[in-house]
């Protein structure tokens, strides 16, 4: 039986909320306050149980990432079973982009099996439920310009790319 649970805890740059199943994370939110986390995750919290010990491995991976181990995000198990097929394929392809590197929406569409669907790849990134873990900050326009980042705006996207390009401290 799949059980859903969530945890909200203070992270190095604000609060982090995680929702998932025994298969892995389904949703991640990072906000300045726990109240904003609850508001952001409200729909995803229906039918879940708070468990302060949940997702210990994912929490440890995030801690490692913020300390400079940019590959740590790859160790987080995800549950994308509810994702539409193309979105799931795009999200999995996005996870294969090496830390500190970028790829275009056109590349992402091709990797997800629909080479002429760059706009749809953009929509998949816009609806990414696991920003940072599915590193949509590594996806840029074909011109090389940064485009939208719903998890904090273009300044955050640029900062994450700089952090990854710098490597471990």
Residues with a catalytic annotation lie at: 136
Query: CB-based contacts of 120: which residues, under 8 Å, 6+ apart?
Result: 86, 90, 109, 114
- At 55 the three-state DSSP class reads coil
Cα of first residue to Cα of last residue in the chain, in angstroms, is 42
The answer to whether the CB of 124 falls within 8 A of the CB of 86 is: yes
CA quadruple 28, 32, 38, 40: dihedral sign:
negative
The answer to whether the CB of 125 falls within 8 A of the CB of 132 is: no
């Amino acid at each position: 039986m799949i059980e859903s649970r969530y945890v909200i805890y203070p992270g190095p740059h604000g609060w982090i909320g995680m929702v998932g199943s025994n298969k892995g994370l389904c949703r991640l939110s990072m906000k300045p306050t726990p109240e904003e986390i609850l508001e952001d995750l409200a729909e995803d919290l229906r039918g879940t149980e708070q468990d302060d010990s949940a997702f210990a491995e994912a929490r440890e991976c995030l801690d490692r990432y913020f300390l400079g181990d940019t590959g740590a995000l790859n160790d987080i198990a995800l549950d994308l079973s509810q994702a539409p097929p193309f979105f799931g394929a795009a999200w999995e392809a996005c996870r294969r982009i090496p830390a500190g590197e970028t790829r275009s929406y056109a590349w992402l569409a091709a990797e997800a099996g629909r080479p002429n669907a760059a706009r749809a790849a953009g929509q998949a990134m816009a609806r990414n439920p696991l920003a940072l873990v599915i590193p949509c900050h590594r996806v840029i326009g074909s011109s090389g310009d940064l485009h939208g980042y719903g998890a904090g705006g273009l300044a955050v996207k640029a900062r994450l790319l700089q952090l990854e390009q710098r490597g471990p401290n």
